[in-house]
Structure 1
Amino acid sequence: MLIDSHCHLDYLQRDGDLDEVLSRARAAGVSPMLTISTKLREFDLVRSIAEAHADVFCSVGVHPHEAESEPETTTDQLVALAAHPKAVGIGETGLDFFYEHSPRDVQETVFRAHIAAARETGLPVIVHTRDAEEETIRILRNEMGKGAFPGLIHCFSGTQFLADAVLELGLYISISGIVTFKKADDLREVVATVPIDRILVETDSPYLAPVPHRGKRNEPAFSAHTARRVADLLGLEIAELEAATTDNFRRLFSKAEF
């Protein structure tokens, strides 16, 4: 069993072949899958996909790109939506200072609302961070001081500094297909240091397809390529990596029943 801990099945559904995508994932041994919310105004679609498939779960949240268009996102709102049986995580949320599609202060306010929802529900917060390592760590440490919460950095592509900080806070690290890219040597060095009991794999599909599918639309079945690369870096057999990441997913996303 291999779990895609972060994909966007609502984006894939727009291509009209979601059933085939899911069939290919299952045939590749990838199941269950966690489909991620990026806009509350489109959460109904994300939730409906999870409701329609026994091996699909969902999260509820607002991507930092969308923080300005949904600035009134509240903790109470997130907690209420997360009460759905298939909603097992809060996010994705966080800070993106590379594109800055939303003002930094608005991103931070919305990020903190998500963390508060994670603390209240016990569901993990799914953190997106890009070009904002120090600010992300500052907020995570500050919020952890108000009370513990579970979470992970998704699509990790950061530095050893970021990895060490989030691991110290008790959070997990999820690895995407970036780890297979030719110029990702620095990332591979960091991934090799992550404890086996704190690592997950994901696609972030339809983005970031791993080698040998680089440049194509990504989909959950391609998790296998990322998993093999991570297993190599950690000196594990693929079956060991699959078992460990499944255990980690169950521990972190404990509301997901499968």
Structure 2
Amino acid sequence: MNVHDLTGRTALVTGGASGLGAGMAQALAAAGAAVAVADVQADAGKATADEITESGGTARFVSLDVVDDAAWESAISQTVSELGGLDIVVNNAGVEISGLIVDLDPDDVRRMLEVNVLGTALGLKHAFRAMRPNGEAGNGGAVVNISSVAATIAFPAISGYSATKSAVERLTKVAAAESGKLGYGVRVNCVYPGLVPTQMGMRLAQDVADIGLWPSPEAAVGDVIGLTPLGRLGEVADMADAVVFLASDAARFVTGAGLPVDGGMGM
């Protein structure tokens, strides 16, 4: 028996159109899950779903703004009706806006709070409602929240992002406790990704250079690698494989946990 086999299960991945989310959606599909690629970016989301389908998997694009409660209800219903259920939710959608505390922009912080914290909280809400007994899907399952190494280290210019990703960790633990106490049958865990050279990751390197904290984006990346015991940046596949693990039966007795996938940077 392959404990990582997700055949017969259905997953929804937020922010699934690109970057880490697309990689996670592809990895879940490769493990056998039918995948709802959920995002506000319709064209990119449809392209990712099509790519999964062309590779032999099952996927649909689902329009979802994670800060919209009603949009979550619609996305869950569409996933259940078109893909036959809901067993896995990956709360990946996130926003990172760099800036020094002395220059803090309240609107930037509000945006990160909305997407990173409220978006994850709503994902938990609607995952629980669908997966718990007598829910729309009703077979329990797994939720994987995407935090960040930023929740475990002090790195300049990302105070708002660090705060919101720390909140994701706390949401994970409280949600795991509630699910267990109330008999929902849903495991809840989170992943702390290290820096990955996606569009978001490389924008952070550019931002901290523009602020003047490093002489160049390359220097910033070099220092991150220097702080990482495994001596390299993360790859999308590193994060995606961790999500598959936490969603699978290999993690059947794991809940309320945070899994660092950062090459040792946050230890």
What TM-score do you get using the length of structure 2 for normalisation? 0.40
- Bigger Cα Rg: 2
